[in-house]
Amino acid sequence: MSRTPDNDASPVADFEASLDQLEQLVEKMEQGDMSLEESLAAYERGVGLYRRCRDALEQAELRVRLLTDPEAPERSEPFPGLADGEP
């Protein structure tokens, strides 16, 4: 059974649930049994799930930065790959 992210979930739980849903959606789309309308709706849903995953990862990065130097998080170094906007 697919987990559904709820609004009270932690960013980690939300990430895991969204990623799980995204993987299931991609698998369904790869089967090729969807109509064009269903494919477009699935793609739109996938983009939303991708954004939720990205937002959860950004929140996790912020938490790590704050834990690394809670007095001055702006002095911490960005994670490799995220400094230039890569997902």
Note whether residue 1 is domain-resident: no
**Cα–Cα distances in Å, from 79 out to 15, 24, 57, 76?**
18, 28, 11, 9
Q: Which two tokens stand for residue 77?
A: 């170094």
CATH number at residue 59: 1.10.287.1040
Taking the C-alpha atoms of residue 54 and residue 74, their distance in angstroms, rounded to an integer, is: 20
Q: Model-level pTM?
A: 0.66
Please enumerate in sequence order all residues whose Cβ is within 8 A of that of 1, keeping only pairs 6 or more positions apart, or say none: none
Is the pLDDT confidence value at 86 over 90? no
Question: Over the stretch 20-77, which tens digit does the pLDDT of each residue have?
Answer: 999 999 999 999 999 999 999 999 999 999 999 999 998 888 888 888 877 776 776 6
Instruction: Please state the domain count of the chain.
Output: 1
Q: What is the pLDDT at residue 50?
A: 95
Taking the C-alpha atoms of residue 60 and residue 15, their distance in angstroms, rounded to an integer, is: 10
Q: What is the pLDDT at residue 1?
A: 43
Query: 39 is in which domain, residue-wise?
Result: 11-70
Q: Specify the higher pLDDT residue, 65 or 15.
A: 15
